[in-house]
Each structure stands twice: as C-alpha cells, then as structure tokens.
Amino acid sequence: MANTPKESTFPLLVQQDGAVITITINDAPWNRMSLEFMNELEIWVEKLAEDTSVRAVVITSAGEENFSVGMHLKQLAGSVKTRGDMEAILDQRLRVLAAIENMEKPWVVTLFGYCLGGGLELPLACHFRLAAAEGAKIGLPELDIGAIPAWGGTARLTRCVGRMHALDMILRVKHISGPEAYRIGLVNEVWPNSELKRKAYELAKQLSEMPAGSVAGVLRCVVGAGERSLQESLYEERQAVLRNRGSKDQMEGMMAFIEKRKPRFNRE
C-alpha cells in the first residue's frame, strides 16, 4: 500500500505508515457517512482484513470540528430507490461494522465534536475509543426524529456501558462529553483536543508492535466472549493458546525475557 493518501479526496482518505493504516472520513465539517463513504469503507475493510502488512488501524475525520454526524440523511430517499429498499442499506452498514469488530487486528477511533447516530455506532464497533477532553457531543439521537438506532447501536452500547447508561443516553437523547463517556466506560482515554489524533496514532503504533498472532488470538477470545458461555470462552482461549504455541513471536518473547532485552516481534 502507498505511503501517501489515495488520489480521491472523497469520501475517505487512506494513508499507511509502517504497519498502521489511517482512514479519514473526508467530508468536513460534518463528516457524514454517505453511501459513497460506506461503499469505500467496505472495500477497504475487506482489503485490510487480508493485508498482513497492516497490524492496526486508526479511523478519524477531516478537520477539527466533528468526527461524524452519522448517516447522510438527505441521501436517504434517493438511496432507497438506488438500492431497492432500506434493508439493503442497513444490511451493508451492519455488515461493515461487524467486519471491523471481528477483524483480527485492532481499530482505534477518535471521538470529537459531534459523534452522533452512526458517528457513535461506528466507534462502538472499534476496539479502542479515544475522546476529546472538550467539545465532544456523543450520543444516539434517533428518537428526536421518531427513529431507532439501526446500525447495532442499542446492542453495542448496552454491552459497552450497561443497560442503565444505554437507556439513559438513548431514551433521553443525551449528548455526553468525552469525560462523561470515560466515566461510564464508553471510551478508553480522554485527551486534549490538540493531542487526540496524535494519541490515537501512537496507540495504534504501539498495538502494531505487539505480536500479531497473539493480538489476533486475544481479539477472537475477547470480542466474542459476550456471546458465549464461560465454558465456551475458556475453550476458545485454549484454542488460541494452542494455535500460538511455538510461534516465532512466542519464541522471540521468551528469549527476550531470558536475555533481558526488548522483544522484536513480527519479523519474517
């Protein structure tokens, strides 16, 4: 993959730096998730799942105003005619978010400004969420237009913060701040706005330097744990351990520990 942004400046930009890919929603200041954006994102998600040179992904947005106000509502009527029905549109969005959530490499997302509707549902499918210390407005405001979150928001938000906070946010149409999101467990970290994108990249780089096989195993175990019984989760963990046993990275980690040095993972 190229180390420079792709030629198209719409609807997203993709840039690779070593083992880290940064995807930028390129529709400032609102960064709406248009049909074109979702089509491109689906293509890239499929590519990234197979690309072994990429070990971590950052998803952020152009500008400093907003991460995303969600779906491009003005496209809705025309898009239903193009796609045949609303279910086809929703199916694609659910499919893309599920592919991100179940990818065996971590995704890091930045939340700043408006993160509403799909602008929260996409981050909920990511593995690490970093929020701005000031100005973030995070929520699922679908009830304001007589609708219901439709990209997995009710399910993923409940699993993330629990039923009490999920109902409070959705039914009262709350827009919460970055610090409040951290308090209820919705985001991993809060950073000054000026540092947020840099911190997201630094986290992705740190994750990309971990042993890729072990990271994949942990993601398989943890992401699906909520859908399995304890015994099933323990079995999945054992299978991950067995798959990883004797790998180059495991041997390197053990030798580095014995030799009292920093391990050098992901070498051919």
Q: What is the pLDDT of residues 237-258, one digit of tens each?
A: 889 889 888 888 888 888 888 9
What gap in Å lies between CA 22 and CA 60, rounded to an integer? Answer: 7
Contacts of 246 (CB under 8 A, 6+ apart): none
What gap in Å lies between CA 261 and CA 193, rounded to an integer? Answer: 36
Backbone angles phi, psi at 63, to 5 degrees: 80, -175
* Residue 203 in this model has a pLDDT that exceeds 90: yes
Peptide bond connecting 263 to the previous residue in cis, omega within 30 degrees of 0: no
Beta-bridge mates of residue 110: 130
Task: Map residue 21 onto helix, strand or coil.
Answer: strand
Please name the residue that has the structure tokens 């593995």. Answer: 127
Q: How high is the pLDDT of residue 163?
A: 97
**Tokens standing for residue 138:** 């995070």
Q: What is the mean pLDDT of residues 197-226?
A: 95
Q: How high is the pLDDT of residue 222?
A: 94
What gap in Å lies between CA 27 and CA 9, rounded to an integer? Answer: 9
Q: Please, what is the Cα angle at 190 between 189 and 196, to 5 degrees?
A: 105
Contacts of 80 (CB under 8 A, 6+ apart): 86, 89
Q: With 0-12 CB in 10 A as exposed, 13-18 as middle and 19+ as buried, what is 62?
A: middle
Q: What is the mean pLDDT of residues 63-91?
A: 80
Q: Please, what is the Cα angle at 26 between 112 and 59, to 5 degrees?
A: 55
Active-site residues, by number, are 121, 142
Q: Residue 8 — very low, low, confident or very high, per pLDDT cuts 50/70/90?
A: very low
Please name the residue that has the structure tokens 């880290």. Answer: 20
Task: Map residue 109 onto helix, strand or coil.
Answer: strand
What gap in Å lies between CA 80 and CA 34, rounded to an integer? Answer: 13
Q: Mean pLDDT score of the chain, rounded to an integer?
A: 91
